[in-house]
Amino acid sequence: MERSVKESVLKVENVSKIFSREEGSFGQKKLVENHVIDQVTFDVYENEFLVIFGPGQSGKTTLLKMMAGLEKVTDGIIEFGQKKISGPNPQLGFVYQSIALFPWLTVMENVEFGPKVKGEGKVERREKAQHYIELVGLGGFEERYPAQLSGGMKQRVGIARAYANNPKILLMDEPFGALDAQTRYMMEAEIQKIWQKEKRTVVFVTNNIEEALFLADRIILLTNCPTKIKSEYHVSLPHPRSYVDKEFLKLRQEITNNMDRTL
Ligand SMILES: Nc1ncnc2c1ncn2[C@@H]1O[C@H](COP(=O)(O)OP(=O)(O)OP(=O)(O)O)[C@@H](O)[C@H]1O
């Protein structure tokens, strides 16, 4: 039988992060350090749905931002395509919790913004934007403005916009964290469907265990700060998953028991 070898697309090697700031008044200044990430090492594999899960304030966003080149590492190295990440890279698409859509642009214009900046022709970028607008279920809403959309719809536009930039990896920072519970469930199902239809490498940060288990191929569980990797879980439950499936609940319990508590 042929063995499938997983291809690593991004490497995090011995990465640490310390935030430092000066405190005190003139003459009595001292350096205060906050050691957030402590020698974390892992690979991200092509087309996997990797979830980074951990307690609140465990440095998940900081880790994701370093992977996107939006935050500098203090120590260690992050490599993408065998090159050290030293700044933002259009191949690494970042999706924020509060999607910052351009309020003066329509859904279509928001989604085609990236390709337009890259210099793609009008016909080509419109076709591409239309494809992703339909992929996220917003066909018919192309001419709406962000103010005319619900929270869930705005997130869909954000996802379509990230896809339209054609990144190699989508880095999602709690993209559904600001949504109400019902919309959040719907968006979790939706992002899975989108990912099944158009596979991309996704790194998804959450502090919601149900969300992590619903979505992930693999979960990296972080400890409290200074953060290390506590465990790694391969989740092979078939999709679409059920939050009340016996195996789902068993794994949920196992991970919860293994998780550090926050105050
Ligand atoms: N720019 C910054 N300057 C100083 N400290 C920071 C900065 N960004 C984050 N931190 C600190 O790093 C720690 C981890 O924050 P981070 O937002 O990465 O955690 P998180 O796990 O994503 O949190 P949450 O689950 O609550 O969203 C916190 O103590 C935070 O105060």
Ligand 1 centroid to Cα of residue 202, in Å, is 21
pLDDT digit string (tens) for 219-232?
999 999 999 999 99
Q: Is 233 or 197 the better-scoring residue by pLDDT?
A: 233
77-95 pLDDT, tens digit per residue, is 999 988 999 999 989 988 8
> Of all protein residues, whose CA lies closest to atom 31 belonging to ligand 1?
57
ipTM, 2 dp: 0.97
Does residue 64 sit within a domain?
A: yes
- Any domain includes 212: yes
Cβ–ligand 1 distance for 114 under 6 Å, the answer no
User: Measured from the CA of 21, which atom of ligand 1 is nearest?
Assistant: 4
Q: Is residue 230 included in any domain, yes or no?
A: yes
Exposed e or buried b per residue across 174-184, where buried means at least 16 C-beta atoms within 10 angstroms of its C-beta: bbbeebeeebb
123 domain residue, yes or no: no
Q: Exposed (0-12), middle (13-18) or buried (19+): which is 150, by Cβ within 10 Å?
A: exposed
Residue 119 counted as domain residue: no
Query: Is 150 part of a structural domain of the chain?
Result: no
Torsions phi, psi for 49 (to 5 deg): -105, 95
CA of residue 63 to ligand 1 center, whole Å: 9
Answer yes or no: is 128 within a domain.
no
Q: Is 57 in the pocket of ligand 1 (CB under 6 A)?
A: yes
Q: Which two tokens stand for residue 124?
A: 């080509």
What's the CA gap between 205 and 95, in Å, rounded?
10
Domain residue limits at 228? 1-91+170-180+200-263
Q: How many domains does the chain have?
A: 1
Give the whole-angstrom CA distance, residue 85 versus residue 145: 35
Render pLDDT for 93-107 as a digit per residue (tens, 0 to 9).
Answer: 888 877 789 999 999
pLDDT in tens, 31-77: 889 999 999 999 999 999 999 999 989 999 999 999 999 999 999 99
- In the prediction, which pLDDT does 31 show? 85
In a domain, 17, yes or no: yes
Instruction: Report which DSSP code applies to 85.
Output: -
CATH of residue 252: 3.40.50.300
pLDDT attached to residue 127: 94
